[in-house]
């Protein structure tokens, strides 16, 4: 069983999904453990085995080339993939932030630094509206919230999700009330609060926040609330598939050989794999092997520890790392991450806080991309695995950058600053030794 909370709370009262609810090609919800199916609705756990539910589809059939052209002629956002997502056909016309279609940067300078000859790319999701990949998943959750008649959007968050919910709710006309650990980076606090919704700090770490939300969601006060990463989680999680779709389309409709993905709850990694498998099934890309690698910070590395020990069970840890957006000590999708990385021939690795900071600076220095600590974790792991011979430098490799470094300035500020302070004349400039 892999659900988001320690205990499975009751779903709060909300309007029942009508038989005619329009979520595009989504046909129902399916349990990832026992395979049971239920109608589309605001539920996230199987009543039979308490396993997590995910969206099942009646995917488009017919000529792959026609579908490929339809996608290519779509909007420059995740909505170009609307036929493959749980959204109505007119989703692009509704008030939303239209995230996605972010840059896939060919990182030649970084490749030379790391000795990669087969092509190295950075999927840079810092270009989303609130500067993280969370805009993708929240955009999906908004459509489910509309379909099910919710009036308030909420979440438990390590920071990026709080900002994404606040912004998307403001744009779509929802009330928002989100919950975060009280000691998050100031940049993420301000960004989450500026959109005018309620922002509540909880004394404790993310897992404490999540436990609180599990109590709230089972209480009458939660009636009419859509928790994007709980009772809307099956729909929300599907947004991460669009990273896989975009990467393959931007590579000329081909699979990457290797992809390195950060692990917080683990949902992003599992949905990227789901997206790749869907593209294969639809005939949009050639079916060939690919490897998926997961990245964690040493100070919160329960999945990495389980992978290295050869375990199938992920034991929770108490987070202690600068990579706060990855600081989930009890990752819901941890067991599924292990399955995917082992099935594809990949691995899960972790790096120290010092290696994270070094990787943040390396990416900035070589490619002009300022990543947050999650991206530093991902690149740090990629570097470590390349040096260890685990990642093949002769193959095409994609590193996923999930957010903007302006949100985690505190991590690099102590070792980053002005080269010199001089008087306003040339003699002082020369004395500084900069020429």
- The per-residue pLDDT for range 184-218, each reduced to its tens digit, is 888 889 999 999 999 999 999 888 998 888 888 87
Percentage of the chain lying above the pLDDT 70 cut? 95
What tokens appear for 3 in the block? Answer: 């659900």
Is there a contact between 88 and 23 (Cβ–Cβ < 8 Å)? Answer: yes
CA distance 138 to 403: 15
What tokens appear for 309 in the block? Answer: 């020990």
Residue 415: per-residue pLDDT: 93
Task: Write the DSSP symbol of residue 220.
Answer: G
Of residues 311 and 5, the one with the higher pLDDT is 311
Q: What is the CA radius of gyration of the chain?
A: 21
Residue 207: per-residue pLDDT: 86
Across the chain, mean pLDDT equals 93
Residue 19: per-residue pLDDT: 59
The arithmetic mean of pLDDT across residues 99-111, rounded, is 98
63: pLDDT strictly greater than 70: yes
Host H or E run for residue 356:
helix 353-367
Of residues 216 and 5, the one with the higher pLDDT is 216
347: pLDDT strictly greater than 60: yes
Task: Write the DSSP symbol of residue 178.
Answer: E
Pairing type for strands 291-297 and 258-262 reads: parallel
Question: With bands split at pLDDT 50, 70 and 90, how would you rate the model's confidence at 14?
Answer: very low
CA distance 3 to 217: 15
The arithmetic mean of pLDDT across residues 362-379, rounded, is 98
CA distance 378 to 390: 15
Residue 10: per-residue pLDDT: 40
The arithmetic mean of pLDDT across residues 128-136, rounded, is 97
Residue 159: per-residue pLDDT: 85
Residues 6+ apart with CB under 8 A from 73: none
pTM score, two decimals?
Answer: 0.92
The neighbour count for residue 103, using CB atoms within 10 Å, is 16
Residue 6: per-residue pLDDT: 33
303: pLDDT strictly greater than 50: yes
């Amino acid at each position: 069983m892999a659900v988001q909370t320690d205990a499975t709370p009751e779903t709060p009262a909300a309007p029942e999904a009508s038989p005619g609810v329009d979520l595009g090609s989504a046909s129902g919800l399916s349990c990832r453990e026992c395979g049971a199916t239920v109608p589309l609705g605001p539920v996230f756990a199987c009543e039979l085995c308490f396993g997590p539910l995910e969206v099942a589809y009646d995917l488009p059939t017919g000529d792959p080339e026609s579908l490929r052209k339809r996608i290519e002629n779509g909007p420059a956002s995740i909505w170009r993939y609307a036929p493959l997502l749980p959204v109505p056909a007119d989703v692009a016309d509704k008030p939303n932030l239209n995230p996605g279609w972010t840059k896939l940067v060919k990182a030649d300078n970084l490749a030379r630094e790391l000795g990669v000859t087969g092509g190295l790319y950075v999927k840079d999701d810092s270009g989303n509206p609130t500067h993280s990949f969370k805009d993708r998943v929240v955009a999906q959750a908004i459509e489910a919230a509309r379909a099910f008649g919710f009036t308030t959007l909420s979440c438990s968050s390590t920071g990026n999700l709080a900002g994404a919910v606040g912004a998307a709710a403001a744009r779509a006309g929802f009330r928002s009330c989100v919950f975060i650990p009280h000691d998050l980076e100031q940049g993420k606090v301000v960004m989450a609060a500026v959109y005018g919704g309620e922002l509540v700090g909880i004394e404790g770490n993310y897992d404490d926040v999540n436990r609180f939300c599990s109590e709230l969601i089972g209480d009458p006060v939660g009636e009419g609330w859509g928790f994007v990463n709980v009772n809307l989680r099956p729909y929300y999680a599907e947004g991460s598939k669009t990273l896989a779709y975009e990467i393959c389309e931007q590579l000329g409709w081909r699979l990457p050989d290797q992809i390195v993905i950060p692990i917080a709850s683990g949902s992003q990694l599992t949905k990227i794999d789901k997206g790749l498998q869907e593209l294969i099934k639809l005939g949009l890309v050639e079916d060939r092997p690919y490897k998926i690698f997961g990245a964690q910070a040493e100070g919160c590395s329960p999945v990495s520890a389980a992978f290295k020990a050869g375990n199938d069970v992920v034991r929770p840890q108490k987070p202690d790392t600068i990579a706060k957006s990855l600081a989930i000590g009890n990752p819901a999708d941890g067991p599924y991450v292990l399955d995917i990385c082992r099935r594809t021939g990949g691995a899960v690795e972790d790096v120290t806080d010092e290696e994270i900071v070094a990787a943040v600076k390396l990416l900035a220095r070589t490619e002009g991309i300022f990543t947050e600590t999650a991206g530093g974790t991902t690149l740090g792991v990629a570097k470590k695995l390349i040096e260890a011979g685990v990642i093949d430098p002769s193959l095409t490799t994609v590193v996923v950058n999930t957010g903007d470094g302006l949100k985690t300035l505190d991590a690099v500020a102590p070792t980053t600053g002005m080269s010199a302070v001089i008087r306003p004349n040339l003699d002082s400039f020369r004395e500084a030794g900069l020429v």
